[in-house]
């Protein structure tokens, strides 16, 4: 007898390409049968009318505690990894999670920035965004190049984290923009020698040199080439701004040469800013407006313009005439929708949430048991709705991808990015006999995110059942409050 | 339901707190929530003060005042959950902060949808600037001015006329002149920096605005039954912007006819977000333009906007309507 059988759902597995009605049987936390299952299960779930898919794997989840897990469960997530910031010391963090009890599978990279805080400023801080903030009391770790001795100390600490099973190295460079390239390059060589990926929040976010996003990506790609490390780019959408097409071209070219560079994105637009001059100087301007440059008339002088260069010259003379356009919704402008699409739909790219912790009004992280989450618990809506928003808008409404391909970006691609160095990930992100029974069942017609800035604690809708390691977390759209089936995802620990 | 935000930047001692105090004193019927650096500097008439609890000072006129708690987004999120919620939020930045970063976080679409940035104001201390012209080269000062939709020139009474004229001439290199206003003029900052949304509560306002101040500005509305072409609309706005203080309205674009967008221009910053659709939105465009009296030729303005209207299907008489107040 099986522990659990899901009957008659539309089973979609991006690895095998299977998309059809089937039963899924679970035994001892693993998938034990697929197809027509005749044997009964201790628990039988009618999945007819629902999509049955591998649970989503989030590479970028900062919440890492009970309430964050629960909100993400309703977003279809079964494995939530803290890879961009990472944690340090690694072993202690895994012990703490096991002790606290988790709903989702959890794991973390070695937190370079926390090793740096310890090595350069002797501060002990908690491995979190808030902990990083508190360590700003002595901000040399953020602003300064490490001395040779400090650098060696940082590398040793990071290596200890990898020895303790850390899933890679987190490089939140934006928080420590003062770090030198030599230090990072040593750490990338360390990652390469361990065969683990690195996860970078690039140091610069600007479309203008010096210190542009393109500068940072070019450095990152250089590190992939010069050290052989796998360089993963975090939230490609938010750090590329208007240069995302160029950035994507650079990443594609690097990939085509065999460099290990990968990307993730979340499906929330950032405010896109366009300076007036950019618009007028666009060579396609006459086609777009249906009129040539002669239709532009300077209000002040009544002068008409003959061509593009005259417009640009006039604008340079009077910068006051430039209007900054902020398109705060990608639908406002096809161009901006296309820019967000470049990162969200990047071939081989993962969807990852950058979910942030739930904070109370006094700034404390909420880690309590209340369900639904208290109304005064605050987070970014992406902490609740990243995956369902992506599937609803990009897959169901806009049909930019098939459901199979959309799901691939939510489960299989992130698992594949990790599995070379973390064997446990080869059993996640797919529905195959022998794989972990991390399974989401959702109603495809109604699946949607519901969170916004005013109501970030609104869980997504449409996830009817969710299982982590074969244990039920969501049943009939309701939370199983006592469920704590999350298990560590960790590299084999050196003995 | 959105709660507009005014951001007040400027160096330490420039006059930010004075401006915030003035808004709290004359809230123009709005329940303003002010986020300030230093409670001690808030100088409210004693008869306005009501109570202070959990770090929030309540005023009798419905306004409240609190200090920044940790990160700004959390403070905002906490404010909009208050019962009753504020009608407007004023944020005083620290003198050492670069408002560009704060503007960027306020323009996160998720944040903007609930608490739209209405106006970024930078207060400039005329006396200080006259004494220390090196400030013009200070990167922080420059960023504060560049990030502002409108600059307020404070303490002009402490500089003689010639000095002030010289100062204005240099300032004009950094900010269009019509976007620099005097702190001393009579228009209440609440009115100047928040556009005419309907306040939800009409509190009896003690010091009502002198009408004369309004006569400095004129308002024109423009509407079209048909959607507009985005690129042509941008071009029209770019050409009108130097003559406008602000513009606001609901616009439907030809490429997304089913989706009315809220357009807002203040200074030289334009934002476009999805509009909360109402019964009035039938696929055309309605704009209100505000300019200093006599500054803009309204016929020109209307002609420019008319040119952005999609006329493909119907090549008949223009459908627009112009009303001037």
Q: What are φ and ψ of residue A401, in 5° steps?
A: -140, 155
H/E element, A83: strand A77-87
- Per-residue pLDDT, averaged over A337-356, amounts to 93
- Residues of chain B found within 8 Å of residue A296, distances taken between Cβ atoms: 235, 239
pLDDT at residue number A318: 52
Q: Which domains does chain A have, with CATH numbers?
A: 56-270+331-423 (3.20.20.140), 273-327 (no CATH)
CA-CA distance, A298 to A317, in Å (whole number)?
12
Domain count, chain B: 2
Q: What is the DSSP string of A183-199?
A: HHHHHHHHHHHHT-EEE
CA-CA distance, A485 to A469, in Å (whole number)?
7
Q: Is residue B211 part of a domain?
A: no
DSSP letter (8 states) at residue B90? E
- Residues of chain A found within 8 Å of residue B255, distances taken between Cβ atoms: 334
- Dig out the tokens for A100 from the structure: 């606290």
B9 and B76 in a single domain? The answer is: yes
Q: Is residue B250 part of a domain?
A: yes
- Residues of chain A found within 8 Å of residue B147, distances taken between Cβ atoms: none
Higher pLDDT, B211 or A439: A439
B238 and B290 in a single domain? The answer is: yes
Which B residues 174-193 touch A at CB under 8 Å? Answer: 175-176, 179
CA-CA distance, B224 to B283, in Å (whole number)?
9
Higher pLDDT, A416 or B42: A416
Grade residue B201 by pLDDT with cuts at 50, 70 and 90. Answer: very low
Chain A residue nearest residue B111, CA to CA: A453
What ipTM does the predicted assembly reach? 0.75
B129 and B178 in a single domain? The answer is: yes
CB contact at 8 A, A430 and A14:
yes
pLDDT at residue number B274: 83
- Residues of chain B found within 8 Å of residue A321, distances taken between Cβ atoms: 238-239, 241-242, 268
Q: Is residue B204 part of a domain?
A: no
Q: Which of B243, B268, B300 sits opposite A324 (nearest CB)?
A: B268
Contact B109 A270 (CB under 8 A): yes
CB contact at 8 A, A11 and A32:
no
B94 to chain A nearest CA, in Å?
17
How do beta strands A350-351 and A471-475 pair?
Answer: unpaired
**CATH code where residue B304 lies:** 3.30.1220.10
CA-wise closest residue to B27 among B154, B182, B201, B219 = B201
Grade residue A99 by pLDDT with cuts at 50, 70 and 90. Answer: very high
pLDDT at residue number A299: 43
CA-CA distance, A387 to A268, in Å (whole number)?
11
CB contact at 8 A, A399 and A389:
no
DSSP letter (8 states) at residue A145? P
B146 to chain A nearest CA, in Å?
11
B167 and B232 in a single domain? The answer is: no
CB contact at 8 A, B239 and B304:
yes
Q: What are φ and ψ of residue B45, in 5° steps?
A: -50, 135
CA-CA distance, B117 to A171, in Å (whole number)?
32
Q: Is residue B201 part of a domain?
A: no
Q: Is residue B16 part of a domain?
A: yes
Contact B274 A363 (CB under 8 A): no
Answer with the one of B193, B225, B244 that is the final residue of a domain. Answer: B193
Three-class DSSP labels, chain A: CEEEEEEEEEEEECCCCEEEEEEEEEECCEEEEEECCCCCEEEEEECCCCEEEECEEECEECCCCHHHHHHHHCCCEEEEEEEEEEECCHHHHHHHHHHHCCCCEEEEEEEHHHHHHHHHHCCCCCCCHHHHHHHHHHCHHHHCCCCHHHHHHHHHHHHHHHHCCCCCEEECHHHCCCCCHHHHHHHHHHHHHHCCEEEECCCCCCCCCCCCHHHHHHHHHHHHHHHCCEEEECCHHHHHHHHHHHHHHHHHHHHHCCCCEEEEECCCCCCEEEEHHHHHHCCCHHHHHCCCHHHCECCCCCCECCCHHHHHHHHHHCHHHCCEEEECCHHHCHHHHHHHHHHHCCCCCEECCCECCCECCCCCECCCCCCCCCCCCECCCHHHHHHHHHHHHHHHHCCCCCHHHHHHHHHHHHHHHHHCCCHHHHHCCCCCCCCECCEEEECCCCCECCCCCCCCCCCCECEEEEEECCEEEEECCEECCCCCCCCECCCCCCC
B173 and B240 in a single domain? The answer is: no
Distances, alpha carbon B77 to alpha carbons A365, A465, B62, in Å: 15, 31, 19
Q: Is residue B150 part of a domain?
A: yes
| pLDDT > 90: percent of chain A | 74
- Top mean pLDDT of A156-160, A300-304, B218-222 is at A156-160
pLDDT at residue number B208: 35
**CATH code where residue B131 lies:** 3.40.50.300
Distances, alpha carbon A413 to alpha carbons A350, A351, A408, A419, B5, in Å: 6, 9, 6, 10, 41
CA-CA distance, B178 to B166, in Å (whole number)?
16
B64 to chain A nearest CA, in Å?
16
Residues 6+ apart with CB under 8 A from B26: B188, B189, B190, B205, B206, B207, B209
CA-CA distance, B106 to B7, in Å (whole number)?
10
A325 to chain B nearest CA, in Å?
5
- Which of A266-280, A306-320, B201-215 is predicted least confidently? B201-215
pLDDT in tens, A9-25: 999 999 999 999 999 99
CA B72 from centroid of its chain's CA atoms = 19
pLDDT of residue B96 exceeding 90? no
- Per-residue pLDDT, averaged over A189-201, amounts to 98
Rounded (5°) CA angle A87-A89-A92: 100
Average per-residue pLDDT for chain A:
90
- Dig out the tokens for A280 from the structure: 């007028």
- Residues of chain B found within 8 Å of residue A362, distances taken between Cβ atoms: 69
Q: Is residue B203 part of a domain?
A: no
> Strands, DSSP E only, in A350-445?
350-351, 439-442
- Which of A95-109, A215-229, B244-258, B309-323 is predicted least confidently? B309-323
Grade residue A252 by pLDDT with cuts at 50, 70 and 90. Answer: very high
CA-CA distance, B325 to B236, in Å (whole number)?
21
B70 and B14 in a single domain? The answer is: yes
pLDDT at residue number B153: 93
pLDDT at residue number A477: 98
Q: Which of B110, B239, B243 sits opposite A380 (nearest CB)?
A: B110
B108 and B152 in a single domain? The answer is: yes
- Dig out the tokens for B47 from the structure: 């008869």
pLDDT in tens, B53-72: 667 888 888 888 888 766 78
Grade residue B186 by pLDDT with cuts at 50, 70 and 90. Answer: low
pLDDT at residue number B243: 85
Q: Which of A323, A332, A378 sits opposite B261 (nearest CB)?
A: A332
Q: Is B101 on the interface with A (CB under 8 A)?
A: no
Answer with the one of B143, B161, B193 that is the final residue of a domain. Answer: B193
Higher pLDDT, B113 or A263: A263
Q: Is B110 on the interface with A (CB under 8 A)?
A: yes
Answer with the one of B146, B161, B193 that is the final residue of a domain. Answer: B193
Asked whether the bond before A210 is cis by omega within 30 degrees of 0, the reply is yes
pLDDT of residue A190 exceeding 90? yes
Residues 6+ apart with CB under 8 A from A403: A12, A19, A51, A391, A395, A396, A444
pLDDT at residue number A333: 65
Average per-residue pLDDT for chain B:
81
Show the domain range for B177: 5-193
- Per-residue pLDDT, averaged over B59-87, amounts to 85
pLDDT in tens, A372-420: 999 888 888 999 999 999 999 999 999 999 999 999 999 999 999 999 9
B139 and B23 in a single domain? The answer is: yes
CA-CA distance, B132 to B308, in Å (whole number)?
46
H/E element, B36: strand B32-36
pLDDT at residue number A124: 87
- Dig out the tokens for A169 from the structure: 């190295």
Contact A334 B255 (CB under 8 A): yes
- Residues of chain B found within 8 Å of residue A328, distances taken between Cβ atoms: 107, 109, 112-113, 271-273
CA-CA distance, A59 to A63, in Å (whole number)?
12
Q: How many residues does this entry show for chain B?
A: 325
CA-CA distance, B100 to B122, in Å (whole number)?
11
B78 and B156 in a single domain? The answer is: yes
As a dihedral over the C-alpha atoms of residue B56, residue B61, residue B62, residue B65, rounded to 10 degrees, the angle is -30
- Dig out the tokens for B126 from the structure: 């005329």
B33 and B177 in a single domain? The answer is: yes
DSSP letter (8 states) at residue A300? T
B181 and B260 in a single domain? The answer is: no
Residue B16 three-state SS: helix
Q: Is residue B198 part of a domain?
A: no
As beta bridge partners, residue A322 has: none
| pLDDT > 70: percent of chain A | 87
pLDDT at residue number B97: 80
Higher pLDDT, B237 or A25: A25
pLDDT at residue number B317: 44
pLDDT at residue number A330: 65
- Which of A351-360, B65-74, B77-86, B174-183 is predicted least confidently? B65-74
- Residues of chain A found within 8 Å of residue B119, distances taken between Cβ atoms: none
B167 and B226 in a single domain? The answer is: no
Higher pLDDT, A435 or B141: A435
């Amino acid at each position: 007898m099986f522990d659990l059988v899901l009957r008659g759902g539309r089973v979609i597995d991006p690895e095998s390409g299977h998309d059809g009605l089937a039963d899924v049987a679970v035994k001892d936390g693993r998938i034990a049968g697929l197809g027509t299952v005749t044997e009964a299960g201790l628990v039988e779930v009618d999945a007819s009318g629902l999509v049955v898919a591998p649970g989503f794997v989030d590479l970028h989840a900062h919440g890492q505690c009970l309430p964050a897990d629960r909100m993400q469960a309703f977003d279809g997530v079964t494995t939530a990894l803290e890879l961009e910031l990472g944690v340090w010391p690694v072993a202690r963090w895994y012990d703490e999670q096991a002790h606290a009890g988790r709903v989702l599978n959890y794991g973390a990279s070695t937190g370079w920035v926390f090793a740096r805080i310890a090595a350069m400023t002797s501060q002990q801080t908690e491995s979190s965004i808030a902990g990083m903030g508190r360590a700003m009391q002595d901000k040399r770790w953020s602003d300064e190049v490490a001395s040779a001795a400090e650098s060696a100390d940082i590398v040793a600490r990071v290596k200890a984290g990898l020895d303790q099973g850390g899933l890679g190295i987190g490089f939140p460079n934006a928080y420590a923009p003062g770090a030198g390239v030599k230090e990072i390059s040593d750490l990338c060589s360390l990652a390469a020698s361990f065969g683990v990926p690195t996860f970078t929040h690039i140091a610069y976010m600007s479309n203008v040199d010096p210190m542009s996003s393109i500068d940072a990506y070019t450095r990152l790609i250089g590190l992939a080439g010069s050290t052989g490390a796998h360089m993963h780019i975090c939230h490609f959408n938010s750090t590329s701004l208007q240069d995302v097409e160029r950035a994507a071209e650079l990443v594609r070219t690097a990939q085509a040469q065999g460099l290990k560079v990968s990307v993730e994105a979340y499906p929330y637009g950032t405010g896109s800013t366009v300076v007036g001059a950019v618009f007028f100087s666009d060579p396609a301007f006459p086609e777009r407006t249906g009129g040539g440059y002669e239709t532009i008339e300077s209000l002040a002088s009544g002068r008409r313009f003959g061509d593009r260069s005259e417009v640009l010259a006039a604008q340079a003379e009077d910068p006051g005439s430039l209007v900054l356009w902020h398109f705060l919704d990608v639908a406002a402008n096809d161009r901006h929708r296309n820019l967000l699409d470049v990162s969200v739909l990047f071939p081989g790219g993962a969807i990852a949430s950058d979910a942030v912790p739930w904070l109370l009004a006094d700034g404390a992280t909420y880690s309590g048991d209340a369900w639904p989450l208290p109304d005064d618990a605050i987070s970014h809506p992406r902490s609740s709705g990243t995956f369902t928003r992506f599937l609803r808008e990009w897959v169901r409404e806009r049909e930019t991808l098939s459901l199979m391909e959309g799901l691939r970006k939510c489960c299989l691609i992130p698992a594949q990015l990790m599995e070379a160095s973390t064997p446990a990930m080869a059993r996640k992100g797919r529905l195959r006999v022998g794989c972990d029974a991390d399974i989401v069942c959702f109603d495809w017609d109604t699946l949607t995110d519901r969170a916004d800035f005013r109501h970030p604690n609104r869980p997504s809708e449409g996830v009817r059942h969710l299982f982590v390691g074969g244990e039920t977390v969501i049943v009939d759209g309701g939370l199983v409050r006592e469920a704590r089936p999350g298990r560590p995802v960790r590299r084999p620990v050196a003995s | 339901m959105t709660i507009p935000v005014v951001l007040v930047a400027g160096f330490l001692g420039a006059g930010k707190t004075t401006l915030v105090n003035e808004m709290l004193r004359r809230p123009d019927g709005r329940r303003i929530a002010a986020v300030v650096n230093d409670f001690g500097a808030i100088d409210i008439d004693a008869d306005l003060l009501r109570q202070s609890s959990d770090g929030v000072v309540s005023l009798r006129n419905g306004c409240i005042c609190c200090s920044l708690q940790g990160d700004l987004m959390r403070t905002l999120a906490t404010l909009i959950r208050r019962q009753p919620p504020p009608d407007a939020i004023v944020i005083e930045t620290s003198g050492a902060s670069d408002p560009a970063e704060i503007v960027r976080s306020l323009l996160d679409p998720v944040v903007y949808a609930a608490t739209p940035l209405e106006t970024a104001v930078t207060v400039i201390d005329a006396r200080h600037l006259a004494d220390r012209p090196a400030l013009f080269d200070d990167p922080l000062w420059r960023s504060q001015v560049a990030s502002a939709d409108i600059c307020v020139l404070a303490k002009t009474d402490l500089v003689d006329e010639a000095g002030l004229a010289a100062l204005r001439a240099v300032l004009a290199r950094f900010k269009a002149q019509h976007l620099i206003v005097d702190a001393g003029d009579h228009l209440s900052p609440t009115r100047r920096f928040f556009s005419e949304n309907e306040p939800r509560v009409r509190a009896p306002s003690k010091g009502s605005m002198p009408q004369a101040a309004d006569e400095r500005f004129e308002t024109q509305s423009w509407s079209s039954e048909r959607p507009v072409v985005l690129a042509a609309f941008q071009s029209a706005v770019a050409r009108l912007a130097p003559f406008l203080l602000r513009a606001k309205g609901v616009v439907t674009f030809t490429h997304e006819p089913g989706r009315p967008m809220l357009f807002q221009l203040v200074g030289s910053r334009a934002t476009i977000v999805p509009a909360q659709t109402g019964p009035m939105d039938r696929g055309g465009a309605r704009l209100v333009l505000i300019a200093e009296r006599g500054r803009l030729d309204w016929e020109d303005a209307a002609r420019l906007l008319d040119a952005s209207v999609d006329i493909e299907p119907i090549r008949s008489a223009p459908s627009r309507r112009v009303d001037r107040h």
